[in-house]
Amino acid sequence: LFMFSIALSTYVVSSTHSSLKNKQGLPIFNQIISWTTLGKHLAFQTLSISYLTSLTMIVTLLLRYEALFPLVLSGLMLVWIQMEQEALQHYGLSLKPKLAVFNFAYATDITQFRQLHLDDIRRSFFFVFFIVTAFFGTGNIASVNSFDPASVYCFLTVFSPFMMGGLLLLKVVIPFVLVSCAFEAVQVTTQLSSKSLFLIVLVISDIMALHFFFLVKDYGSWLDIGTSISHYVLVMSLTIFMMLMNGLAQLLTAKRLELSRRTKHHST
């Protein structure tokens, strides 16, 4: 069903581009499909459905080669989750039966959580790295004015700055949502408290902010001064933004996801 949705979104983008190129306007069918796809993303809250609906939505919002970035990013996030599960087995940590089920419920028994290990620093670093990668993936928030408005033509063609701006911001946020949901899944599979793991993320972010703080200049050209200050403010804002994305990921993954897993029966 969701593969059909992705194919349908691809058709909508191609059909809309051809229609606008022939100066025939935006087909009403394409507009209905686009807005339905946007609303469908808010109706489901499991990890796999969030990923697939995000991909469907971003195919509608992106143009040409840009759509490859979230596709590759999603595949990389799934590989990351699988890698963390394999790492637990490699280091001899027992995989409890609950690891076959991603239980994102808020009322989780704290006795199931473990203590921090050195590997958790790697997991937190990967999260920060992927967040920065997502920031510069499809055009970052610092260059919203350089975005091509053609990416929202599947939704509307009448000039509406607030509506177009909201859709463009949504286009930027979707990669962050993918990374945050994957990080939440890593936290569940590694049996670690999200608070403990995110505190490591904040420490890494503070180190980055401290680095850029010492690079702030009060001499030279106004361009150099402004650039150094903007880098520091950007890193500080990214720390707050990651906290918001972490809360959003918990909201989007607040349900239960059953993973397909074959059970081997041994004869006695």
- Residue 53 to residue 178: CA distance in whole angstroms: 11
Q: What is the mean pLDDT of residues 53-77?
A: 64
Nearest to 253 by CA among 67, 49, 3, 39: 49
User: Sign (positive/negative) of CA torsion 57, 75, 195, 123?
Assistant: negative
The domains of the chain are located at 2-258
Average the pLDDT over each of 57-61, 88-92, 153-157, 219-223 and give the range with the smallest value.
Answer: 57-61
Confidence of residue 264 (pLDDT cuts 50, 70, 90): very low
Confidence of residue 39 (pLDDT cuts 50, 70, 90): low
Confidence of residue 148 (pLDDT cuts 50, 70, 90): low
**pLDDT tens-place string over residues 236-256:** 888 888 888 888 777 777 654
Q: What is the mean pLDDT of residues 41-45?
A: 52
Output the pLDDT for position 263. Answer: 44
- Residue 46 to residue 222: CA distance in whole angstroms: 48
Alpha-carbon Rg for the chain, nearest whole angstrom, is 21
Confidence of residue 142 (pLDDT cuts 50, 70, 90): low
- Residue 242 to residue 255: CA distance in whole angstroms: 21
Look up the pTM and report it. 0.68
Output the pLDDT for position 42. Answer: 53
Hey, what are 261's tokens?
């897993």
- Find residue 103's DSSP bridge partners: 256
* CA-angle at 54, arms to 53 and 55, nearest 5°: 90
Q: Which residue has better confidence, 21 or 177? A: 177
Whether the per-residue pLDDT at 215 is higher than 80: the answer is yes
Whether the per-residue pLDDT at 265 is higher than 50: the answer is no
Whether the per-residue pLDDT at 49 is higher than 50: the answer is no
> Which H/E stretch holds residue 3?
helix 2-21
Whether the per-residue pLDDT at 109 is higher than 50: the answer is no
Mean pLDDT of the residues in the chain: 70
| pLDDT > 70 fraction of the chain, expressed in percent and rounded | 56
Q: What is the mean pLDDT of residues 146-175?
A: 72
Phi first, then psi, for residue 156 (nearest 5°) are -165, 150
Q: Is the Cβ–Cβ distance between 189 and 85 less than 8 Å?
A: yes
User: Which of 10-14, 73-77, 168-172 is the most confident on average?
Assistant: 73-77
